[in-house]
Structure 1
Amino acid sequence: MPAGHRPRHVARRDPRAHWVLFALGLVVLLAGLAFHGYAQGGGGGSGRPGASAPAAAPLSGPFVRADPRGLATRSLPARTVALTFDDGPDPTWTPQVLDVLRRHDVPATFFVVGSKVNADPALTRRIVAEGHDVASHTFTHADLSAAATWRRHLELSLTRTAIAGATGLQAPLFRPPFSSGPGDVTAADLSALRDATDQGQIAVLADLDTNDWRRPGVDAIARAAMPAGGAGAVILLHDGGGDRSQTVAALDRLIPDLQRQGYRFTTVSAALGVPAPSASNGDRLSGIALRWFQSLGAGLSTLMTWLLAVALVLGAGRLAFQVGCAWWHARRRRPPSRGVWAPVSVIVPAFNEAANIRATVLSLVGGDHPSVEVIVVDDGSSDGTADIVERLGLPGVRVVRQRNAGKPAALNTGIAYARSDLLVLVDGDTVFERETIHRLVQPFADPRVGAVSGNAKVANRGRLLGRWQHLEYVIGFNLDRRMYAVLRCMPTIPGAVGAFRRAALLSAGGVPGDTLAEDTDLTMAVHRAGWEVAYAERAIAWTEAPETLSQLWRQRYRWGYGTMQAMWKHRSAGGRLGRRALPYLAVFQVLLPLAAPAVDVFAVYGLFFLPASQLAAGWLLLLLLQAATAAYALRLDGESLRPLWSLPFQQIVYRQIMYLVVVQAAVTALLGSRLRWHRMTRTGAAAALVGEPVTRRPVP
């Protein structure tokens, strides 16, 4: 990738408002997903896990309302029954229950779950249209006796809003989930009932609990629903929360039996004389908005589930394909080399490279290739870079000074001065190993090869950030290069270590200066000119990586933006570049990174609303797959496996930074902004390699 030179690209505008929109989008996504997860918390049944002691003074009737002296209760008169159904509306069972009620011309009261009302408002409207009550059963079927006060208020408020949006009516009646008869009310239940009645709601318990949610059989349900001695009764049944086929069948038997015994059927609102009033326009609009937001959350959840599945499949497939190509690249039989001993010209564009330039030049002239000239093009440095090189007084090393014009211009100047037909382009902060130049030019034995990529390694890997970049270079960049070499579609020769035939450079039009990733741009142009691009994995160069997050951000921002420029510039390319490399770059370096923040938000959502064991197992499985791939890549590159301990932290922290860099670069590109060329501050880390052996364990 390009080294830092003064900007030739002048910033017209610096996009910052997009971060506000980006953050807002992620907040909306997380809020929608979280609301969907909250709304999916519904259950069913009237039984509550664990036994609780009843209150010291149990209630005397099923209808409970607020009273200045406490809670007032009331019961139904004799031979009067109110059929009540909990946990709906259910798209399968509620219509069947309604059909039975209509066939027998019997009204009932449906205690609905607010989230299910939002999921099927038309069915809720049918309940009202056929003369039945719609009442509240909380928004998520929450156990209010165990909930905090704010949660109780939220559950009831959301349910009233949902009912108003679906039916245009208020919902004064309420039944707490997991409730049963007045005599079974616990102290915690009383607290929840007081909270509800203080909000103006009338609580409705049950005289007869059929326990139909246990599916005890049609006969057992019908018997449990039969009042004793002609007493009035509120009968508790369920039209949602599970298989309610027994309830439907029992209802068809129970209603005729009660009618033969002279029972009158009523709704709870009619029995209490409190018909549901019309909701205000504001409440209706709030209900509609709530329903839309819940639908948005459900849609986002579905979309993110598919996106996550696609990302995992593509990611796992990419790792497997990379490893397969790397294995093939490492073991394929290479034809005997005739050996390339032709003279080589090494061009070093340098702008303020005083920290490393001495080490760079010494490593270039100290190699084992027999004929090497080094041309250092000083691109208007102000730190004495050219003077350092001249004071070395090395034979075969020339310094060319020019006014600052940018790295591409400096490279083209060096190419014009070079005497050889084989040209090695090197960044000014790079240190070569002794054999690097000779190994780098060996693929030119094939006359079809016009350019060769070397193997760039991170020199300053002592700190955590450097270690993460080291893993990225070895696992990402070099595995990709092995894959590209097998597919014969290498899109980028790194600026730190690359070689070109002069003929290939001329046919590509020289080093381009209209993108910020001139190395990617040039490599693609070489492909389009009909040349092959090879990978010499044993040609190792040590380069200095950013030492701080801000430097890393600026460097990768420039790389990402420049790569997008190059992809757009060469979008009409055919051949292997157009069919293989460009789609691969588009998917794995642009589209998936752009989608990654949303996937990470989905992962945060999953921590709270998905099974923790499944989430942890999936993450560990993916991490193990990445670790195995990383270990193989490190072994191929002759590197120690010790840095693998930092891989989990790299996935959690470093990966997010890289994704955000792609977002920033994409926004910059879409807005048509011109990005200024940020120069990285050099620390001399690569120079520290000179004076000690720089040859590591041989790369296989």
Structure 2
Amino acid sequence: MARHVARRDPRAHWLLLLLGLVALLAALSFNGLVTNVRGGSGPAQTPTAPAPKQVSAAGPVLRLDGPTPVTRRLAPRTLALTFDDGPDPRWTPQVLDVLRRHHARATFFVVGARVNEHPELVRRILAEGHEIGSHTFTHADVGNMPGWRAKAELAWTRNAIAGATGREVTLFRPPFSSTPAALTRPLYDALRDAAGSGHVAVLADRDARDWERPGVPAIVRAATPQGGAGAAVLMHDGGGDRSQTVAALDQLLPRLAQAGYRFTTVSEGIGAPASMLPAGAGARLSGIAVRWAQTGAGWLASAMNLLLGVALVLGVARLGVQVVCAQLHVRRVRRPRRRRPVVGAPVSVIVPAYNEAANIAATVRSLVASAYPTLEVIVVDDGSSDGTAEIVERMRLRGVRVIRQANAGKPAALNTGIRAARADLLVLVDGDTVFQPDTLHRLVQGFADPRVGAISGNTKVANRRRLLGRWQHLEYVIGFNLDRRMYDVLECMPTIPGAIGAFRREVLLAVGGVPADTLAEDTDLTMKVLRAGWRVVYEERAIAWTEAPSSLRQLWRQRYRWCYGTLQAMWKHRHALGEPGAGGKLGRRGLPYLTVFQVVLPLAAPAVDVFALYGLLFLPWSKLVLAWVGLLLLQGFTAAYALRLDRERFGPLWALPFQQLVYRQVMYLVVVQSVVTAVIGNRLRWQRMARTGEAAALAPPAPVR
């Protein structure tokens, strides 16, 4: 009806939202990669073709950057202890303590993600004279992944070490590797690719298999070379419980020292120059940036887990409060403590109408057919161009008046009807709404309580045959009517719907009539009534059938206006927070509830959906399915309970799972759009819904009066 001119159309926020969600998914995915780091050795893939014989039968150190592989072995009675999968805050310090106690040096092949988590341990390894090599960034099987990913794993690890220590590494041990004899062709090809970026591959002569935890004696036997031969021994200082490794190391070192062994690094053991070189400024800065990114991604994932936890707690608490309040409301309405006098005072029904030709006849007929002794119906035609007024006039029904005015908006039409009304009880009805015969009688009975200034009826969706209609039907029953029962009990009803609401005339005059400075005039008016000190209640048995949007575009336009108008009304009545009486109940109960459940949580919903996608990629599907089914059952219980309270069939429940895939996203994107519109200061135009007349089928024939 009212038309406000938009100053600018805020569309850049959709691009910003999309980029933000992509960035969030990228950060969460990065966190998923680094937190799913595993440990241990052994093959990670099904056996494939072996590596060339000149490599599989050679020494453990492989230089593959030339046309012919170059391999090296350790000198006799030289032991290069190597430790994979660290640094670990528990086991790496214990391994270092044992090495220092026995004056032994070793080589640590570190995982880049763990370097970023514990850079101080890497610096301690170097400070105590040990050597560091790369073990990829996420303990990934480089022989079973695309080449770009393998290069990224090596580059990230090299930068992580550079950022933590100022040194670059050249030694590289692939995860899930063992001795040269166990080298597969895919892994050999991956090592050749790694050689192209300056890496020297280091395998092992002896695999202690300590990751299997076979017992300390077995680890000592597996790590002991035969006949005084030199060896590179594969052990682990991270990736699991390494208590047996520490104990075995404490036995192995003195035993081999007595046999004349010296314990050194891989590079010294083969007589090669130092493998660690000073890192350039670019590598150090890249390493620091990756560490910050990993830390930030971890914080973000923790924040998302906290958000989900808070949302779940709030959702369960909301359900608990709704159920308790609904039960109290049922007892109070259906089993009142004392019988109140029947209200039969004259009623004026005001119907603002703008281009309502599809439904206006059905609306008026249903009102005239009401089982109520004295009423008048005032149809205020707000400049319609489709013959709405003429349709009503041709019906020639007793007690029905038509008032024409130039288009001025719904609030102005309502105020015109209020001024023209003769009764002291006024019912405001939308032009697409159909009443049941007993609706009007039930609606006004609450006025027997002199404290009640306004009453909300029970709005139901008439056009619910299609999927979109069923979704809206469930929303009306669950999200609107279940909430209204709670609001009634807590005495903080924020909205009487425009489709069906009753008011005392004195109340409307006292608050200045229907306000026109927000797009949610029904919410604005209800809040004004509460702040004026009156009670606002809900009558579940006063049923009005209304036509809901029949397309996603119409739904978007309607809910956009509702949400934006509600934000306007909430801001307008924010001072109710500090008021006493009914206004204070609105401010300290109703407004926080609206803020949390209609603004804050919907704004967070896109991030929650991204987190769900992250879960599909990185979390066990069994847990995800269990969580999804659990939430769906909770929603199903809520929906079934609300349907039972409203005496509705349970048939539409089948549409509930699909509602989470489309309808929910539309609703939270509406909130995003509304908040952005409000923040940047745009004024939203009135968005009128196209009527199809489906609600008219519910109207009874009008009696002759």
Which letter does structure 2 place at the counterpart of 1:525? K
What's the offset of the Cα at 1:51?
7.2
Distance across 1 between alignment mates of 2:681 and 2:67:
71
What's the offset of the Cα at 1:56?
6.7
Q: Which residue of 2 aligns with 1:300?
A: 300
Q: Which residue of 1 aligns with 2:466?
A: 463
Q: Which residue of 1 aligns with 2:43?
A: 48
The answer to whether the 8 Å contact 2:348/2:423 transfers is yes
Q: Which residue of 2 aligns with 1:205?
A: 203
Q: Which residue of 2 aligns with 1:328?
A: 328
Tell me the alpha carbon deviations over residues 528-566 of structure 1, each in whole angstroms, 9 at most, x when there is no partner. Answer: 111111111111111111111111111111111111111
- Equivalent position SS for 1:686: helix
What's the offset of the Cα at 1:312?
1.2
What's the offset of the Cα at 1:266?
2.4
Q: Which residue of 1 aligns with 2:684?
A: 675
Q: Which residue of 2 aligns with 1:117?
A: 115
Q: With structure 2 as the length reference, what TM-score do the two structures score?
A: 0.94
Pairing 1:97-108 to 2, within 5 Å after superposition: 97-108=95-106
Q: Which residue of 1 aligns with 2:64?
A: 66
Q: Which residue of 2 aligns with 1:427?
A: 430
Which letter does structure 2 place at the counterpart of 1:90? D
Higher mean Cα deviation, 118-127 or 356-365?
Answer: 118-127
- Equivalent position SS for 2:278: coil
In the alignment, does 2:507 pair up with 1:508? no
Distance across 2 between alignment mates of 1:152 and 1:387:
76
Distance across 2 between alignment mates of 1:507 and 1:95:
77
Q: Which residue of 2 aligns with 1:317?
A: 317
- Equivalent position SS for 2:612: helix
Pairing 1:447-526 to 2, within 5 Å after superposition: 447-526=450-529
Q: Which residue of 2 aligns with 1:622?
A: 631
- Equivalent position SS for 1:456: strand
Tell me the alpha carbon deviations over residues 39-73 of structure 1, each in whole angstroms, 9 at most, x when there is no partner. Answer: 12211111336874755722311011115444321
What's the offset of the Cα at 1:572?
2.0
The answer to whether the 8 Å contact 2:44/2:176 transfers is no
The answer to whether the 8 Å contact 1:87/1:238 transfers is yes
Tell me the alpha carbon deviations over residues 470-525 of structure 1, each in whole angstroms, 9 at most, x when there is no partner. Answer: 11001110111111122222111000000000112122221111111111111111
Which letter does structure 2 place at the counterpart of 1:92? R
Q: Which residue of 2 aligns with 1:6?
A: 2
Tell me the alpha carbon deviations over residues 599-657 of structure 1, each in whole angstroms, 9 at most, x when there is no partner. Answer: 11111111111111111111111111211221221122122211111110001210111
- Equivalent position SS for 1:259: helix
Which letter does structure 2 place at the counterpart of 1:158? W
What's the offset of the Cα at 1:346?
0.7
Distance across 2 between alignment mates of 1:274 and 1:98:
20
Q: Which residue of 2 aligns with 1:696?
A: none
The answer to whether the 8 Å contact 2:65/2:192 transfers is no
Distance across 2 between alignment mates of 1:268 and 1:534:
81
Distance across 2 between alignment mates of 1:100 and 1:672:
67
What's the offset of the Cα at 1:126?
2.2
Which letter does structure 2 place at the counterpart of 1:646? A
Tell me the alpha carbon deviations over residues 345-374 of structure 1, each in whole angstroms, 9 at most, x when there is no partner. Answer: 011111111221111111111111111111
Distance across 1 between alignment mates of 2:339 and 2:592:
34
- Equivalent position SS for 1:541: strand
Of 22, 27, 31, which residue of structure 2 is paired with 1:36?
Answer: 31
The answer to whether the 8 Å contact 2:79/2:264 transfers is yes
What's the offset of the Cα at 1:151?
3.1
The answer to whether the 8 Å contact 1:66/1:200 transfers is no
Of 556, 563, 568, which residue of structure 2 is paired with 1:565?
Answer: 568
What is the aligned-residue RMSD (CA, Å)? 1.9
Of 366, 369, 376, which residue of structure 1 is paired with 2:369?
Answer: 366
Of 207, 223, 226, which residue of structure 1 is paired with 2:224?
Answer: 226
In the alignment, does 2:187 pair up with 1:178? no
Tell me the alpha carbon deviations over residues 118-149 of structure 1, each in whole angstroms, 9 at most, x when there is no partner. Answer: 11222222222332222111111122333333
Higher mean Cα deviation, 216-225 or 334-343?
Answer: 216-225
In the alignment, does 2:635 pair up with 1:635? no
Which letter does structure 2 place at the counterpart of 1:28? A
Which letter does structure 2 place at the counterpart of 1:21? L
Q: Which residue of 2 aligns with 1:698?
A: none
Higher mean Cα deviation, 286-295 or 684-693?
Answer: 684-693
Distance across 1 between alignment mates of 2:306 and 2:420:
56
Distance across 2 between alignment mates of 1:625 and 1:41:
30
Which letter does structure 1 place at the counterpart of 2:152? L
Q: Which residue of 1 aligns with 2:187?
A: 189
What's the offset of the Cα at 1:343?
0.4
Q: Which residue of 1 aligns with 2:16?
A: 21
The answer to whether the 8 Å contact 2:382/2:406 transfers is yes
Distance across 2 between alignment mates of 1:635 and 1:252:
70
Q: Which residue of 2 aligns with 1:697?
A: none
Distance across 1 between alignment mates of 2:521 and 2:404:
21
Tell me the alpha carbon deviations over residues 275-294 of structure 1, each in whole angstroms, 9 at most, x when there is no partner. Answer: 22222222222222211111
Which letter does structure 1 place at the counterpart of 2:363? T
- Equivalent position SS for 1:652: coil
Distance across 2 between alignment mates of 1:692 and 1:227:
101
Distance across 1 between alignment mates of 2:427 and 2:177:
81
The answer to whether the 8 Å contact 1:206/1:234 transfers is yes
In the alignment, does 2:71 pair up with 1:76? no
The answer to whether the 8 Å contact 1:59/1:73 transfers is no
The answer to whether the 8 Å contact 1:269/1:276 transfers is no
Distance across 2 between alignment mates of 1:498 and 1:401:
22
Higher mean Cα deviation, 254-263 or 110-119?
Answer: 254-263
The answer to whether the 8 Å contact 2:491/2:585 transfers is yes
In the alignment, does 2:388 pair up with 1:390? no
Q: Which residue of 1 aligns with 2:155?
A: 157
Q: Which residue of 2 aligns with 1:167?
A: 165
Higher mean Cα deviation, 609-618 or 127-136?
Answer: 127-136
- Equivalent position SS for 1:625: helix
Tell me the alpha carbon deviations over residues 401-441 of structure 1, each in whole angstroms, 9 at most, x when there is no partner. Answer: 22222111111111111111100001111111111111111
The answer to whether the 8 Å contact 1:79/1:230 transfers is yes
Distance across 2 between alignment mates of 1:631 and 1:249:
60
Q: Which residue of 2 aligns with 1:589?
A: 598
The answer to whether the 8 Å contact 2:369/2:701 transfers is no
Q: With structure 1 as the length reference, what TM-score do the two structures score?
A: 0.95
Distance across 2 between alignment mates of 1:165 and 1:50:
32
In the alignment, does 2:657 pair up with 1:648? yes
Sequence identity, in percent? Answer: 68
Aligned residues: 688
- Equivalent position SS for 1:82: strand
Distance across 1 between alignment mates of 2:560 and 2:162:
50
Which letter does structure 1 place at the counterpart of 2:658? F
Distance across 2 between alignment mates of 1:252 and 1:117:
25
Higher mean Cα deviation, 96-105 or 590-599?
Answer: 96-105
Higher mean Cα deviation, 648-657 or 166-175?
Answer: 166-175
Which letter does structure 1 place at the counterpart of 2:115? V
Distance across 2 between alignment mates of 1:592 and 1:285:
38
- Equivalent position SS for 2:38: coil
- Equivalent position SS for 1:539: strand
Structure 1 portions without partners, runs of 5+: 694-700
- Equivalent position SS for 1:424: strand
Distance across 2 between alignment mates of 1:192 and 1:500:
78
Q: Which residue of 1 aligns with 2:132?
A: 134
Which letter does structure 2 place at the counterpart of 1:639? E
Distance across 2 between alignment mates of 1:459 and 1:363:
14
What's the offset of the Cα at 1:155?
2.2
Higher mean Cα deviation, 318-327 or 672-681?
Answer: 318-327
The answer to whether the 8 Å contact 2:369/2:700 transfers is no
